[in-house]
Amino acid sequence: MNYQSIIDKYYPEGTPLRDIYMRHAQSVAELAEELRQKSAPELDAEQVRAAAMLHDIGIFLTSAPSIHCTGSAPYISHGPLGAEILRREGAPEWAARVAERHTGVGIPPLVPETRLERLVCYADKFYSKSGSMQRRSLQQVEASIARFGAENLAALKALEAEFPL
Ligand SMILES: [Fe+2]
């Protein structure tokens, strides 16, 4: 699928948000591919890449001025908003579902279910869109998720076990 044309439509070249978007999405796509090769070789590499590149497509609709998102929706809703965009654009349902379910370790009832959904959700946790945008250590990822409670940390640990680094 042509994921780049969807990105180009909502994140035009020459804007600061575009640069943040591409850098983050590419980092997530690279780690997802690494984890796919190690632990999920049955998944299609092109599908993993497209899903990773599109998972955050909804962020521009949210209010997160520090990363140049000047919309009005709460940041936490960028998953379902992104899924809505992808379905409207005629993107495959698997890509829409990845967007819909990737926030944190999933927000019930929108938790990652398929292996593709879990893989991209997990890879995403290693990359922030603010600050240095460098890869986080597993310890940093755990600390960021533990803030949301024991159930979230348990869900993260399950992803760690499914996709060992
Ligand atoms: Fe992300």
Q: What is the CATH classification number for the domain harbouring 9?
A: 1.10.3210.10
Output the pLDDT for position 61.
98
- Rounded to the nearest whole angstrom, what is the distance from the C-alpha of residue 124 to the centroid of ligand 1? 5
pTM beyond 0.75: the answer is yes
- Rounded to the nearest whole angstrom, what is the distance from the C-alpha of residue 42 to the centroid of ligand 1? 23
Q: And the tokens for 8?
A: 């180009």
Output the pLDDT for position 131.
87
- Rounded to the nearest whole angstrom, what is the distance from the C-alpha of residue 78 to the centroid of ligand 1? 10
Residues in CB range of 47: below 8 A, 6 or more apart: 94, 116
Residues in CB range of 20: below 8 A, 6 or more apart: 67, 68, 129, 133
- Rounded to the nearest whole angstrom, what is the distance from the C-alpha of residue 102 to the centroid of ligand 1? 8
- Rounded to the nearest whole angstrom, what is the distance from the C-alpha of residue 48 to the centroid of ligand 1? 14
Total domains in the fold of the chain: 1
Residue ranges in 14-149 assigned as alpha helix (H)? 16-39, 45-54, 78-88, 93-101, 115-124, 138-146
- Rounded to the nearest whole angstrom, what is the distance from the C-alpha of residue 54 to the centroid of ligand 1? 9
What is the number of residues in the chain? 165
- Rounded to the nearest whole angstrom, what is the distance from the C-alpha of residue 29 to the centroid of ligand 1? 10
Its domain, for residue 7, covers 3-162
Residue 87: how many CB atoms within 10 A of its CB?
16
- Rounded to the nearest whole angstrom, what is the distance from the C-alpha of residue 47 to the centroid of ligand 1? 16
Q: Is 136 exposed, middle or buried (0-12, 13-18, 19+ CB in 10 A)?
A: middle
Output the pLDDT for position 132.
87
- Rounded to the nearest whole angstrom, what is the distance from the C-alpha of residue 69 to the centroid of ligand 1? 14
Q: And the tokens for 30?
A: 């690279």
- Rounded to the nearest whole angstrom, what is the distance from the C-alpha of residue 24 to the centroid of ligand 1? 7
- Rounded to the nearest whole angstrom, what is the distance from the C-alpha of residue 52 to the centroid of ligand 1? 8
Residues of the chain with pLDDT under 70: none
What one-letter code names the amino acid at 128?
Answer: S
Output the pLDDT for position 78.
98
